[in-house]
């Protein structure tokens, strides 16, 4: 079980997207000619589970949650920050419908790339295709690790994971304004809003974090990381 400490409930992909760097100038022109940028307001649905896929979406700017829906219940799979993809499952002609929904956490701007044009670039450029495969692989590993943590980590460990994920990978700063409600934070950590509120207060009272309205500062990074690793 020693490997368990390597898993995290962090919802972000661990892969940095560099696929567009692999395209030739002509291929970039082709990409631009077959794509359009669309702005989404905070709380607006970007794609709907079961909806027909006509585009691959690239987050130019913003933050979105990707989640599964089943009636009144939902399960957050990951957070998509800027410079990441949505809808990569559509690159296979066997999957023409979104397997999940996505919603903008903050005002966001997304480049929608016509799916057949995206497939054409993959057929033409091996290095581009390899980057896309690496992204898909990284996304899968991240989701596996997240489910492992939901199964085996205690609530304190899962909340510590999310706080580190926000500080290290989204805001890249130990002090940040949280764009999520307590309910949304609870969804990310797989807990009830009441449990998240109670645990945040305990972290605050113990001097691990400082809370002031929407502002959160990680004060004892080493201790938070230890809680994350021990679960």
One domain for residues 78 and 114: yes
| 22 neighbors 125 (Cβ within 8 angstroms) | yes
One domain for residues 31 and 141: yes
Q: What percent of the chain has pLDDT over 90?
A: 45
Q: How confident is the model at residue 10 (pLDDT cuts 50, 70, 90)?
A: low
| 83 neighbors 59 (Cβ within 8 angstroms) | yes
- Please write the tens of the pLDDT for every residue from 101-155: 999 989 999 999 999 999 999 999 999 999 999 888 887 777 777 777 777 788 8
Whether 91 is covered by a domain: the verdict is yes
- Please write the tens of the pLDDT for every residue from 59-114: 999 999 888 888 877 788 888 888 899 888 778 877 788 889 999 989 999 999 99
Last residue of a domain, one of 114, 149, 184: 149
What does the alpha-carbon distance between residue 4 and residue 72 come to, in Å, rounded to a whole number? 31
One domain for residues 32 and 137: yes
CATH number for position 197 = 1.10.10.10
Q: How confident is the model at residue 15 (pLDDT cuts 50, 70, 90)?
A: low
pLDDT for position 2 = 39
Q: What distances in angstroms separate CA 16 from CA 68, 81, 85, 110, 201, one per listed residue?
A: 24, 11, 11, 17, 34
Nearest to 86, CA basis, from 128, 46, 27: 46
One domain for residues 119 and 168: no
- Please write the tens of the pLDDT for every residue from 175-213: 988 877 888 888 888 888 899 999 999 999 999 999 988
Count of C-beta atoms within a 10 Å radius of residue 141: 14
One domain for residues 128 and 199: no
Q: How confident is the model at residue 14 (pLDDT cuts 50, 70, 90)?
A: low
What does the alpha-carbon distance between residue 150 and residue 95 come to, in Å, rounded to a whole number? 28
One domain for residues 21 and 133: yes
Last residue of a domain, one of 129, 149, 169: 149
Last residue of a domain, one of 98, 129, 149: 149
- Show Cβ contacts of residue 181 under 8 Å, excluding neighbours closer than 6 positions: none
pLDDT for position 146 = 72
What does the alpha-carbon distance between residue 22 and residue 81 come to, in Å, rounded to a whole number? 21
Using the structure block, give the residue that is written with the tokens 């702005």.
39
Number of domains forming the structure of the chain: 2
Range of the domain at 195: 153-230
Residue 34: helix, strand or coil by DSSP?
coil
Q: What is the mean pLDDT of the chain?
A: 86
């Amino acid at each position: 079980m020693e490997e368990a400490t390597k898993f995290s409930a962090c919802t972000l992909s661990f892969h940095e997207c560099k696929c567009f760097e692999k395209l030739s100038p002509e291929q970039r022109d082709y990409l631009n000619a077959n794509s359009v940028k669309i702005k989404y307001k905070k709380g607006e649905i970007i794609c709907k589970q079961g909806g027909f896929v006509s585009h691959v979406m690239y987050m130019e700017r913003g933050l979105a949650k990707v989640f599964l829906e089943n009636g009144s219940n939902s399960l957050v799979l990951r957070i998509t920050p800027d410079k990441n993809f949505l809808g990569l499952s559509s690159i296979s002609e066997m999957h023409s419908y979104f397997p999940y929904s996505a919603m903008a956490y903050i005002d966001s701007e997304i480049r929608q790339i016509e799916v057949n044009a995206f497939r054409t670039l993959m057929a033409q450029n091996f290095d581009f295709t390899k980057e896309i495969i690496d992204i898909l692989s990284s996304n899968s590993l991240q989701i596996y690790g997240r489910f492992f943590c939901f199964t085996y980590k205690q609530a304190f460990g899962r909340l510590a994971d999310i706080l580190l994920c926000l500080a290290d990978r989204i805001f890249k700063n130990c002090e940040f304004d949280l764009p999520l409600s307590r309910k949304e934070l609870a969804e990310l950590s797989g807990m009830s809003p009441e449990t998240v509120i109670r645990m945040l207060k305990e972290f605050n009272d113990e001097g691990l974090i400082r809370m002031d309205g929407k502002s959160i500062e990680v004060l004892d990074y080493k201790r938070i990381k230890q809680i994350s690793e021990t679960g």
